Structure formats: structure tokens, C-alpha cells
Amino acid sequence: MKAITLLGSTGSIGTQTLDIVTQYPDQFRIVGLAARSNVELLAAQIRQFCPQIAAICNADQLPGLQAAVADLDPQPILLGGEAGVVEVARYGEAEAVVTGIVGCAGLLPTIAAIEAGKDIALANKETLIAGGPVVLPLVQKHGVKLLPADSEHSAIFQCLQGVPMGGLRRILLTASGGSFRDLPVEQLANVTVADALKHPNWSMGQKITIDSATLMNKGLEVIEAHYLFGVDYDQIDIVIHPQSIIHSLIELQDTSVLAQLGWADMRLPLLYALSYPERIATDWEPLDLVKAGNLTFREPDHQKYPCMNLAYAAGRMGGTMPAVLNAANEQAVALFLAEKIRFLDIPHLIETICDRHQAQHQISPRLEDILELDQWARREVLAVAGKLESPVAV
């Protein structure tokens, strides 16, 4: 039985991971849980999964959490604040930590888990994108596995099993195209938050759903693929595949192309990250190609979606630039979700902040530099957004 800790347990990735634990109680058990603020759900999860430790990042809510599970015997260790989440990440005999926190907030807990020798089932892509230059050497140093749980990267990782060193030529990331894939570019200026949150294929947290609508999610995944698989940016391409049945493909040196297919269901990549290299038998609905119907592909539209090129450019610069891109995106998306800026302000803000960072760009940053720049980029976005000529004032 594998002992796992789950960060971000109340979110989309978190609750789907717990579905897997519920379905396969002989395979997995929960050592630690952490979430930001949903006391009610976290308390229910503590009752059901009996972790040894749990944390709520919003420290003000710790007393509420303590009261909600006061009758439990034995009592789990309950902690509050960012330090509490870090403690959960490194605690006890968990072999693997599923990182389902959204955003760069996952960076310090992920580092703590790596330093404690735990394998990482990585959903929290922002941590790798912002922290790649410090996270990857730590993964090497502590000899832990960094197992992708993002569906595209899981697909690539699955296809790579058995490919010899040097056999990989190119990665092809598939993209659903997000909420506005069939909307003419002229209409993007006036889309609303509610429109952007209607993803055609996947049900996910709000931030990644907006990232899918801007195609920044795919841009972030290009950088994620570069860090996970060591492939040059010239060898990573994006193809729009509206049905989300092929989760990504790899091209080998002899032009053979391998793909991984399945329904759009995050439980499958999560299960593989947790069971690797084993394959656990499930009773999930098998893929039916006839039912899936036509699988179609088209080129991504870089004019309509500038975020992809912004991400490629930041990835190619490397060092601190992806951290700045990521933080600017997180802040811009938060402003859009709060209806303070318009949809097309998102790429504009990110580009402005990345341009401002050029002069201070560092190739081999320390963790402190990344954390500082993350805060700097957020402040810059707020300052620039405040001056936008927008009908909605910040």
C-alpha cells in the first residue's frame, strides 16, 4: 500500500485524487492533506481519510478546522499557515506527494517534499515553470522521481517508456483550444468571465480554465515539457485537437509517432503518476473509438492567442523569465476573474511585465531571487492594470 500526501486536497485535482484513493483503498492511503480555505470540505476529508496531519493555509481558519474535527480519536496534527502546508509536505512516511495546489504557492511545499525524499506527482505546473532552475537540481540531488500528472505530460511520459536515449525527436502537445476556440478573434475583446469559464471538454479549477481560454495553459505546458523531458523549444510543437482524446504525441528519430489516448478524465494521468511503473486494473469506461468519432487537428492561431508565443519566448530565455511570465499571468488572471480587467488585457499585461524584466534577467537564479521576482511581477501587473484605459477600474 502506497502512502501519499495530497496538497490542494479540496480542488479539482485534489478531489479526483481522493476519488482514486476511495476506489482503491488496498493500494493507497493518505498521510497528509492541505488546502487553502475550505474548512468544511477539508474537515470532511479528514474524517473520511484519517490523515496523520493536515493543514489549512489560511491560518485564521485553523480554530474552525480544529472545532470541526474535535471529536476525532486519534486526533490528527492540525496546522495553519504556509509553514503548516510546508510541514504537511515533508511529514512522515508518505512516499509520494501529489501537488494539486494552484500557482507558485506550491513552490515551497514542493521543495520541502523533495528535500524530504518524496516522489512528486506533479499537477502544479506553475511550481516547475517558476522554479525549474532550483527544483530540477534538487530532484537530482535527492534522487526522487518527478512524475507528471498533467494529462499531456503523462501522455508523453507513457509514450516514452521503452524509447532509448536519443530516440526522441519531437514532442507534439495537443490542445483542446479552450472556451473560445470557435469564436472569431474580433469578438474576444468583449468576452465575459462566465464565457471564459465554460470549458468545452474538461472540468477544472478557475485559474487553469482561464489559462485554457487564453492558451497560456499550453504555453506553460511547453515550458513544463522542456523541464520534464529536457527537449529543446524548437522540438516542442502545439496542435489543436478539439476532441481531447489524444492527450499528446511523440515523434521518434525514424519518424514513427506514438500517442496516448483516453477519455478526457484526469484520474487516468493521476493514477499512472501514483502507480508508476505498475498498471492498476480499473473498471473505468474503456475508450471506444467509434463513440469518440472523428479526431481532428488544426494549427494553433498565434495571432488570436499571443500567450503561446510569450511562453515560448520566456522559455527560451530561461532563468528567471518563466517565473516572471508565470507570476504576471497569475496576477492578470486573478484580476480578470475579479472583473477588473478585460480578457485581452491578460496577454498585454504579461508582455509588458516580461519586457520590463529583460534588463534584470538572471540565468541561474537562487530560490530567493525567484520568490522575490514572483512578488515583483505581481506588483508590476497591479500597477500597470491600474492605469489601463478600461471601462472597469482596478
Q: Look at residue 14 and give the partner it binds from Mg ion, ligand NAD, none, a contact being a CB closer than 5 to 8 Å depending on partner kind.
A: ligand NAD
Residues 121-160 within binding reach of ligand NAD (CB under 6 A): 123-126, 150
Q: Is 152 annotated as contributing to ligand binding?
A: yes
**Interface region with ligand NAD, contact rule CB under 6 A, candidates 98-106, 193-201, 241-249, 342-350:** 98-106
Which position among 4, 5, 12, 89 is part of the footprint of ligand NAD (CB under 6 A)? 12
Scanning 197-277, the segments in alpha helix (DSSP H) are 206-214, 216-229, 267-275
Chain position carrying cell 472556451:
179
Residue 137's Cβ-count burial label (10 Å; 0-12, 13-18, 19+) is exposed
- Residue 18 contacts which entry, Mg ion, ligand NAD, none (Cβ below 5-8 A, type-dependent): none
Selected binder of ligand NAD within 4, 6, 10, 113 (CB under 6 A) = 10
Are 324 and 369 a contacting pair, CB within 8 Å? no
Kindly identify the residues of this chain, within the stretch 180-239, that bind ligand NAD according to CB under 6 A: 202, 204-205, 208
> Strand (E) positions, 10-124?
28-35, 53-56, 77-80, 96-99, 119-122
Q: Which residue is nearest to ligand NAD (CB)?
A: 11
Site for Mg ion in 129-168 (CB under 5 A): 150-152
> How far is residue 96's CA from residue 4's CA, in Å, rounded to a whole number?
5
Of 5-13, 65-73, 228-236, 238-246, the segment contacting ligand NAD by CB under 6 A is 5-13
CA distance 205 to 13: 8
User: Are 96 and 274 spatial neighbours (Cβ–Cβ below 8 Å)?
Assistant: yes
Residue 313 beta carbon to Mg ion: minimum distance, rounded to whole angstroms? 20
Specify the stretch interacting with ligand NAD by CB under 6 A; choose among 120-128, 140-148, 229-237, 307-315.
Answer: 120-128
Shortest separation between residue 90's beta carbon and ligand NAD, angstroms: 14
- Minimum Å distance from CB 297 to ligand NAD? 21
Which stretch in 2-10, 45-53, 90-98, 228-236 sits in contact with ligand NAD by CB under 6 A? Answer: 2-10
CA dist., res. 207 & res. 197, Å (int): 9
Whether residue 118 contacts residue 95, with contact meaning beta carbons closer than 8 Å, is answered with yes
Q: Distance of CA 393 to CAs 373, 388, 390, Å?
A: 25, 8, 6
Question: 317 with 133: CB under 8 angstroms?
Answer: no
Q: From the CB of 116, what's the least distance to Mg ion, in Å?
A: 27
Binding range to ligand NAD, per CB under 6 A, among 34-42, 186-194, 230-238, 315-323:
34-42
C-alpha cell at 201: 471538454
Candidates 20, 35, 249, 371: give the one binding ligand NAD (CB under 6 A).
Answer: 35
Is 124 annotated to bind ligand?
yes
Binding partner selected for residue 122 from ligand NAD, Mg ion, none, CB under the kind-specific 5 to 8 Å limit: none
Q: Of the candidates 76, 100, 148, 365, which one interacts with ligand NAD according to CB under 6 A?
A: 100
C-alpha cell at 296: 481532428
Q: Which of 4, 5, 6, 8 binds ligand NAD (CB under 6 A)?
A: 8
Q: Is 211 in the site for Mg ion (CB under 5 A)?
A: no
Q: Does 126 show up as a binding residue in the annotation?
A: yes
Compute how many other C-beta atoms are within 10 angstroms of the C-beta atom of residue 332: 30
DSSP states of 98-144 as a string?
EE---SGGGHHHHHHHHHTT-EEEE--HHHHHHHHHHHHHHHHHHT-
By CB under 6 A, is residue 102 in contact with ligand NAD? Answer: yes
Provide the minimum distance between the beta carbon of 305 and Mg ion in the complex, in angstroms, as a whole number.
16
214: which 3 cell numbers?
A: 487564453
CB of 334 to ligand NAD, least distance (A): 12
Cα-Cα-Cα-Cα dihedral sign, residues 53, 141, 227, 267? negative
C-alpha cell at position 274: 501514483
User: Nearer to ligand NAD by C-beta: 42 or 310?
Assistant: 42
Q: Is 315 exposed, middle or buried (CB count within 10 Å of its CB: 0-12, 13-18, 19+)?
A: buried
Site for Mg ion, rule CB under 5 A: 150-152
Binding annotation for Mn(2+) = 150, 152, 221
Site for ligand NAD, rule CB under 6 A: 7-14, 34-36, 38, 57, 85, 100-102, 105, 123-126, 150, 202, 204-205, 208, 266
